[in-house]
Amino acid sequence: MNVPGASWRRVLDLVHTVGGTRYLTGHGAANYLNHAAFEAEGVTVDYMGYEFLPWPQQHGDFSPYVTSLDLIANVPPEHRTAHLSRTTLPWRDFLAAKGIAVSD
């Protein structure tokens, strides 16, 4: 894509390059993303709302720290979606829930 730059600025430029208006990200971005800059340039930032929805596992108590292959191996196809979270949170709500001060 040949988009120069670094950190949040490069991410924002990549979103613009593909014509995006929404950036969906994992929790680590809270440490470096300039949310106000994304918003000012018309890009909505949402965070994944991870939830641990247990499923039967073969050895011991449930561990969420496994790959999706564990879900595939242990749960019949018709029941897998019940264990998957499709939640997202707007960046302000996510940061507030984490106790991170929101500044514009």
Considering only residues 100 and 17, tell me which one the structure prediction assigns the higher pLDDT.
17
36 and 48 in contact (C-beta within 8 Å)?
Answer: no
* Cα gap 20→69, rounded to integer Å: 30
54-69 average pLDDT score:
89
Q: Which pLDDT score is estimated for 4?
A: 92
Among candidate residues 49, 47, 45, the one with its CA nearest the CA of residue 87 = 49
Q: What are the tens digits of pLDDT across the range 72-91? A: 999 999 999 888 877 899 99
* Cα gap 82→54, rounded to integer Å: 10
Q: How many CB atoms lie within 10 A of CB 15?
A: 20
Q: What are the tens digits of pLDDT across the range 3-55? A: 999 999 999 999 999 999 999 999 999 999 999 999 999 999 999 987 778 99
